[in-house]
Amino acid sequence: MSAARLAARLSKRLLEQFLVVADEKQFGRAAERLVMSQPPLSQSIQRLERGLGVRLFERGPGGVSLTPAGEAFVVDAQRLLNAQSAAVERVRRIASGLEGDVRLGYVSVLSHHYLPGLLRSAAQELPGLRIHLCQDSSVAVADMVRSGALDLGFLRGPAPLSDELVSEVFAVERIAAALPLEHPLAGADEIHLADLRSDDFVLPDAAALPTLAQQLQLACAEAGFAPRVRAVADDLSSLFSYVASGLCVSLRPELLREGFPIPGVALVPLRGASRRLETSVVAVRRPEADAAVLRLLELVRPGGGGGREKPGEGEPGAAVIPSSP
């Protein structure tokens, strides 16, 4: 019998039978332990010996004893059983999302407040999971998730999403005014957005930061004015640099005041309950996401719960990623 054919026939049951006989040194007692009759057990050991081409046991009237080859095979049989058990356990862990690789995309600002908590929780709860991070814009992250380049994405909403994606809102944040420190309203407890109608604005570039660009325009329109454009920035660092220079004002999520402070910029809360003054943080995935992705999403939901999920939309406040201290 070829080595490949023999290896295929070394089932878990056959290896267990051999090891029990080797331990008991008697077929009758071994058969009792294995809950089977003696003749089939004897036949199994004979087939194993024929396949290996060696005698594993010396038979005698009082029982059996291991040959030198049998002594060596006890060690190897136990190793094979352990390897089989480990392989079964590992594939089950991967299928349940406890091990494997997840490619996670995010927009830059989220890394300062939400991402550290998620990584810490994953390391504690899913130590066998490897998370590979990729930073990009909301549009790019969503597109990479849709194409399969990423498994999971965290981005700011509301943002236009493909119907091929499932999204879930897990945090809702207020929008605040970003003012230069020398602005007359920089020290106020809160202001109306309309108080900035005479100021110059730095606007996010609609191609690079579509969500924030739309949010700013809609909020100003609802406040009764169109923002007076002094500059356009295609990334948040440039946008806040304009504000810090004293040339412009802008808007940004209020929660960033703690997790992402900008020198020279004051964040002032805005009055009003308008949804135009809110921004959400959204998790996006493909409908056929694997178990590891779903386990990560369980971590960001308080108590393992969460809101409803529909292609391209989510429910506000469904879950929150633990924030870094």
> Could you report the per-residue pLDDT of 255-283, keeping only the tens digit for each?
666 555 678 999 999 998 788 888 888 89
Q: Is the model's pLDDT at 302 over the cut of 60?
A: no
Residue 235 vs residue 318, higher pLDDT: 235
The whole-angstrom separation of Cα 177 and Cα 180 is 10
196 CB burial (10 A radius; 0-12, 13-18, 19+): buried
Tell whether the model's pLDDT for residue 319 goes beyond 50: no
Q: What is the pLDDT of residue 256?
A: 62
pLDDT at 308: 35
Give the pLDDT confidence of 161-177 residue by residue, as tens digits: 778 899 888 888 888 99
Predicted pLDDT at 309: 39
pLDDT at 160: 67
Q: Does the pLDDT at position 318 exceed 60?
A: no
The pLDDT tens digits for 216-262 are 898 999 999 999 999 999 877 788 899 999 999 998 887 666 555 67
What's residue 320's pLDDT? 37
Mean pLDDT lowest among 6-10, 61-65, 179-183, 307-311: 307-311
pTM over 0.95: no
pLDDT of residue 70: 94
Task: With beta carbons less than 8 A apart as the criterion, state whether 280 and 171 touch.
Answer: yes
Q: Read off the pLDDT of residues 82-128 as tens digits, 9 standing for 90 and up.
A: 888 878 877 887 788 888 899 999 887 676 677 888 899 999 999 99
Q: What is the mean pLDDT of residues 37-45?
A: 94
CB atoms within 10 A of CB 99: 19
For residue 159, pLDDT over 70 is answered with: no
Q: How far apart are CA 322 and CA 299, in angstroms?
A: 9
pLDDT of the residue at 30 = 94
Average pLDDT of the segment spanning 208-221: 85
Poorest-pLDDT segment among 67-81, 159-173, 285-299: 159-173
Q: Would you say residue 156 has pLDDT above 50?
A: yes
Mean pLDDT of the chain: 83
Residue 29 has pLDDT above 90, yes or no: yes
Three-state SS sequence of the chain: CCHHHHHHHCCHHHHHHHHHHHHHCCHHHHHHHCCCCHHHHHHHHHHHHHHHCCCCEEEECCEEEECHHHHHHHHHHHHHHHHHHHHHHHHHHHHCCCEEEEEEEECCCHHHHCHHHHHHHHHHHCCEEEEEEEECCHHHHHHHHHHCCCCEEEEEECCCCCCCCEEEEEEEEEEEEEEECCCCCCCCCCECHHHHCCCEEEEECCCCCHHHHHHHHHHHHHCCCCCEEEEEECCHHHHHHHHHCCCCEEEEECCHHHHCCCCCEEEEEECCCCHHHEEEEEEEECCCCCHHHHHHHHHHCHHHCCCCEEECEECCCCCCCCCCC
Which tokens is 149 given?
Answer: 């380049």
